[in-house]
Amino acid sequence: MKIKKIVLRKMKIDFKIPFEVSFGVMRNKHFIAVEVHSKDHIGYGDCSAFEHPYYNEETIVTSWHIIQDFLVPLIFSKDVIDHPGEIAVLFSHIRRNKMAKSALDCAIWDLYAKENNISVSKALGGTREKVETGVSIGIQKNPDDLMRIVENHLNEGYHRVKIKIKPGKDLVYLEGVRKHFGDIMLMADANSAYTLDDMELFKALDTLNLLMIEQPLSHDDIVDHAKLQAVLKTRICLDESIHSVEDARKAIELGSTKTINIKVARVGGLTEAKKIHDYCQSQHIPVWCGGMLDTGIARAHNVAIASLPNYRFPGDIPASTRYWKQDVIFPEMTIDKNAMIDVPDKAGIGFDPIPELMEKLSYEKKEFIK
């Protein structure tokens, strides 16, 4: 592939309803859309860094800086890119900044697949024609509101329900859902809101037959998670603690986790996501695909990676209508009655950005021509 041009867009899209997690309420999503142009094709990526550095240290401002001032020049330094895996090597001396790297890594996987007239799923080694998805529900004001929202999503066809929790809005909420809806596939996501001092709470949660508890302790921890996992029957899932295949190896060897949420953006792109998948598969540790309240571009990449065989649990890859009045892609992503999404078999990610909507939602645009 010969890269001719790269286009960056700062964009903002409003949520249908505000989404609350342990560190705050989100009413809109800022993101960076990336286009990588060859002579005949365009690859698309999405930088999922948030407006504020609450999930990790990256923001849309820092990612824009890293992409335009460091990563784009590195890509332009190569005359030809034969395979997307070369990008991770090219970026390897840039510390962290995983979400910035992911936007370009994913765009180049899309471009590579289009140049070779195959789907991104096939390029990655995907084996599934459909992937199962679940729904993630933000923190609610009271248990009754949560019950109503869970019921609505179950009626839409979702089988796996993830509930965001924080101190004071945890056990009673989850107990209510379990009692009211019975043996549904239920999990909790703490976004690092607890410590080992909350052991009695965790023991109570352990009685609810949860699918998993996601990242209950510090965002950069694997030691205390190992202590917690040794006490609980329920799977501990690591999210924020895992940025690379090496992080995954260390966590698994310590016994810190029984499953890993692989967020493509968090680990630096599809290249590293596949490495983590392959290593976990070799260690008999199932993985699943998390999301970043993504627009359709990022979710299309998520569908592709989730088609790999060791993605064993439903992912956070909901239908376009879950978060947005209108998604930025065509066709919109939909789920069937069994909460399954078709894995596209057309070249690339299988979805196309809507040009007029991309322009409407953009508030800054910059082109780089080689």
The DSSP secondary-structure symbol of 133 reads: B
pLDDT at 65: 99
Confidence of residue 21 (pLDDT cuts 50, 70, 90): confident
Residue 2 in this model has a pLDDT that exceeds 70: yes
Q: How many CB atoms lie within 10 A of CB 97?
A: 22
**pLDDT of the residue at 17:** 86
Q: Which domains does the chain have, with CATH numbers?
A: 5-117+354-369 (3.30.390.10), 123-342 (3.20.20.120)
**Residue 346 is a catalytic residue:** no
The residue with tokens 């949660």 is 205
Residue type at 146? L
| pLDDT tens-digit readout, 165-206 | 999 999 999 999 999 999 999 999 999 999 999 999 999 999
Question: Rounded distance, CA 277 to CA 287, Å?
Answer: 7
- Least trusted range by pLDDT, from 13-17, 67-71, 109-113, 145-149: 13-17
pLDDT tens digits for range 243-255: 999 999 999 999 9
Quickly tell me which residue has 């695909």 as its tokens. 289
Find, among 313, 302, 286, 275, the residue nearest to 121 by Cα. Answer: 302
Measure the CA angle with vertex 69, ends 264 and 51; round to 5°: 50
Catalytic residue among 114, 162, 263, 274: 263
Q: Catalytic residue, from 164, 169, 274, 275: name it.
A: 164
pLDDT bracket for residue 54 (50, 70, 90) = confident
Give the residue carrying structure tokens 């859902």: 177
Average pLDDT over the chain, rounded to whole?
96
pLDDT at 312 over 90: yes
pTM (2 d.p.): 0.96
Active site annotation includes 164:
yes
Residue type, 213: I
* Higher-scoring residue by pLDDT: 16, 269: 269
Instruction: Quickly state the pLDDT bin for 25 (edges 50, 70, 90).
Output: confident
278 has a pLDDT exceeding 70: yes
Q: So what's the pLDDT on residue 221?
A: 98
| CA separation, residue 362 to residues 61, 219, 323, 357, 358 (Å) | 14, 31, 18, 8, 6
Closest CA to 120 of 324, 317, 305, 319: 305
Q: What is the DSSP letter of 207?
A: G
